[in-house]
Structure 1
Amino acid sequence: MELIQVTRDDYYLSTKDDDIISNMPNIIITDILNRLPIQDAVKTSILARNWRLNWTMLTQLVFDDAFIWYLRKRKDKQNNVGDDNWYDLRNISGLLPHLIGPIKKFVVIIPYGKVLDVKNLCDWVRLLSRKGILEFTLENRNEETVELPTPIFSCLNLTHLKLSNCHFPSTPPNFCGFQNLLSLDVSQVTVTVASGFCDIITNSPLLEILKIREEEESISKLNIDEIFKLKNLKVLYFPLYAIDRVEITNSLIVHGGPYFPNLEELILCLWDFEVSSCSVFIF
């Protein structure tokens, strides 16, 4: 939980009249709104005239399973049988431009049967890059793979990146990696150039958590001894069945260890079961 510091002047300012809640410092109001479900945070605009635009200070936008469940319940309550517009991604596109400050966290789940328009996604990512996005999660549950737009490489402040059922584009020539990235979690992610995916990993020097799930194409040419150079890595999730398809060079043996000096958790996935033991994978 992030601690919010309030000065004595802020406190006196917030209690100078009877409406203590409305006169709280903006940083406190924003923190409260961030803890609410997104639909409830936006609904605070009807509480009072001076709350009409408070939701525009949101720094976290989470459209997760709870949000999807809320939309389904609303559809059932309204008896909109056969209405296929209960989940309209254009609502997200209409919401984002109204936010006035930085956006630290953005989570969106695309439910089965809902296709994400590439233009919408590109607009989201472009705006998020300008807003200094720190945590980005895109979980695509539709059968069709989502093409990740190239503005993702402009999100240089990223600390957490989680992707599911996406296609990663080629890295631009001037891309120097995500220097602040702490965790990378990918599942069913395809790539244009496998070496580019490797570059993303190796050019993230602060990486502490690396999870690669159900991958084939993205790791088929992954140079595994480059991963061994990630000295800050604490958690590694890797498909054991893919070991025979990755590139292992002689430098791994020549230079010797120690490898992963800070590793705390190693999960090697072999099809339908997992083996959790550092001795399985560390030489």
Structure 2
Amino acid sequence: MVVPDNIGVEEQDQYNHKRMFVTSAETNNLSKLPDNLVDSILERLPIQDAVRTSILSRNWRYTWTTMRLLVLDEHFSNKLAKNGTFGYSGFIRVINQLFYFLKAPILKVHLFIPKMLLDIFQEVNQWILRLSRDCVRKLVLINSNQSYQLPSYLFYCSELRYLKLKNCIFKPPLEFQGFVYLEVLWLQNIAFGANLSETFNVCSFLELLEVSLLPLQFSIAENIPNWLPRAADRLARLQFYNFNFSALDQLQGALFMLRNSPNLEQLSVILGLGLRNMHLDEKSALTYLAASESFDQSLNRLKTINMKLITGSRPLLLFIKLLLDHSPALEVLSIQLSVTCNVHEKYNFAKDVMRLPRASSKVELLFLDP
């Protein structure tokens, strides 16, 4: 409501009273909303704004404490830093207070751990313990510090549907038999322990696996945990991050995954930020891709391939050829070249791709601007 111009003191007092009455009425109307709708509204707000709703009225004082979604992402951490509360004790204190006041089971959490000194992981262990008791269903844990060994509590989160981990050590207890209901698994910079032989053997709902292919960790075929092929057998979507087409170990890992993904429908490949300008010896990669035995699996259900931040190279062209040769149901191949490619390079690469034979007669080739 806009305050009218040129009104007297008495009229101003009447207006303020009326404004207070309207605000109170509006607050009462909000309080009458169903609990599930109120929770839905709060979960769409930044956590700081959700907490601020406690000053709306007495009825709203503790409403935010029933939230089941907690987003403490990088944006949240940056905001703490900007407000001067980002020190070790400040960051820990804020997160601890949130976990203390939230009374309902927390089912979805996005937790970004910034670069910090001291042993912050003791606190993180306590947070994960709380989440395990709440039967968390979605957990995103992005760690910016040295590798964090996941506590045993995590492996008892039997209701997990979505798990995203970065810079962690994945070492489950011996009795761990897998996340039965897991649908999405996202792994980046993950070190694996030795107790993984049957880890995902019962992961029958897995639909999406996103893997960061880094040399000497996960990508060399013999170093891939042997649970992964069993998980990949059910995959509908697969995404590779930090990919380099000139790195033999990464190509081996990627084809190993594709060979064990007969139900794959969508494939995404994104070149790593730190790998775009690397000049590796392409000879081994070319020899491997040219060998007929490098890939002998038909991807009969693959319909969509998306490639992003790509730099044109001979190994990349052979990799695309291999996919086109083995994907009879393919409908779309989209390629987004890197900004480092000039117009001449883009034209030549597009021309080479267009000439490649295809097992699918209906595939559409799309070349997208960066």
Structures share a fold, TM > 0.5?
A: yes
For 1:211-226, list aligned pairs within 5 A. 211-215=210-214, 216-218=216-218, 221-222=223-224, 223=226, 226=229
CA distance in 2, matches of 1:233, 1:133: 24
1:126 corresponds in structure 2 to 129
Identity rate, percent: 26
CA distance in 2, matches of 1:48, 1:134: 32
Q: Cα distance, 1:28 vs. partner?
A: 1.4
For 1:122-271, list aligned pairs within 5 A. 122-142=125-145, 144-169=146-171, 171-193=172-194, 196=196, 199-215=198-214, 216-218=216-218, 221-222=223-224, 223=226, 226-227=229-230, 230-237=233-240, 241=247, 242-243=249-250, 259-267=261-269, 271=275
Q: Which amino acid aligns with 2:209?
A: L
Q: Aligned pairs, how many?
A: 252
| 1:111 is the counterpart of 2:110 | no
Equivalent residues of 2:213, 2:250 under 8 A apart: no
1:22 corresponds in structure 2 to 31
1:68 corresponds in structure 2 to 77
CA distance in 2, matches of 1:101, 1:264: 37
Compared CA separation, residues 281 and 162, structure 1 to 2 (3 A): farther
Compared CA separation, residues 262 and 41, structure 1 to 2 (3 A): same
Note the residue ranges of structure 2 that are not aligned, 5 or more in a row: 1-24, 277-308, 311-315, 327-370
Q: Which amino acid aligns with 2:104?
A: G
Compared CA separation, residues 115 and 159, structure 1 to 2 (3 A): farther
Equivalent residues of 1:60, 1:105 under 8 A apart: yes
Q: Cα distance, 1:235 vs. partner?
A: 2.1
Q: SS of the residue aligned with 2:81? A: helix
Which of structure 1's runs of 4+ aligned residues deviate more than 6 A?
Answer: none
Structure 1 stretch displaced more, 219-228 or 38-47: 219-228
Q: SS of the residue aligned with 1:175? A: coil
Calculate the TM-score normalised by the size of structure 2: 0.58
Taking only aligned residues, the RMSD between alpha carbons, in angstroms, comes to 3.5
CA distance in 2, matches of 1:64, 1:210: 21
Q: Cα distance, 1:268 vs. partner?
A: 7.2
Equivalent residues of 1:205, 1:230 under 8 A apart: no
Greater Cα radius of gyration, structure 1 or 2: 2
Compared CA separation, residues 244 and 18, structure 1 to 2 (3 A): closer
Note the residue ranges of structure 1 that are not aligned, 5 or more in a row: 1-15
CA distance in 2, matches of 1:17, 1:113: 43
CA distance in 1, matches of 2:27, 2:227: 63
State which of 32, 35, 38 in structure 1 corresponds to 2:41.
Answer: 32
